[in-house]
Structure 1
């Protein structure tokens, strides 16, 4: 069974079905994974747990791309940047924002 080939066909099907370019699909996928993991895990974005799930998913995506296409450094770096940029910015923003009074630990 050619799992990288099946995965590639599925990704092409999504791209063709949506009409969106690969870069935009990476941005949407990163954000969707971030929010789904946030909701399922019930962990704050500031814990970086949802962000690390995005990193793991992108690693898996790039591994399957590598197994299907071989090494394509520019494409891989672009995909990683598009997928991780906004989830990282949001996670950092939540992490460094001042905590609301109602969320502060009681002394």
Structure 2
């Protein structure tokens, strides 16, 4: 589990992005890849569920390795990860007249 934490630090160092922006990019990457591979549509609820599941697993992994959890950090991380995929999903499913 320590390797997971180190892997995330390596990505931060390579990209130069902080964790907040990496959560946004990771959420969109998972959403787009899952939409292409699994459902071929941004309208698929499964793509959003995959993003939410990944966000939750990431926070569980952070907790499991003993990462100090600030009061709002897990909530902020999950919100950053799922916000834009959820907005794309909602906007794709609005019925237009």
Length, aligned pairs only:
96
TM-aligned CA deviation for residue 44 of structure 1: 2.2
- Point out 4+ residue stretches in structure 1 off by more than 3 angstroms: 70-73
1:30-69 equivalences in 2 (<5 Å): 30-68=27-65, 69=67
> Where do 5+ consecutive residues of structure 2 fail to align?
none
What's the Cα RMSD here? Answer: 1.5
Structure 2 length as normaliser, TM-score?
A: 0.91
Aligned to 2:96: 98
TM-aligned CA deviation for residue 48 of structure 1: 1.2
Give the Cα–Cα distance (whole angstroms) in 2 for the partners of residues 6 and 73 of structure 1. 24
Higher alpha-carbon Rg? 1
* Partner SS, residue 73 of structure 1: coil
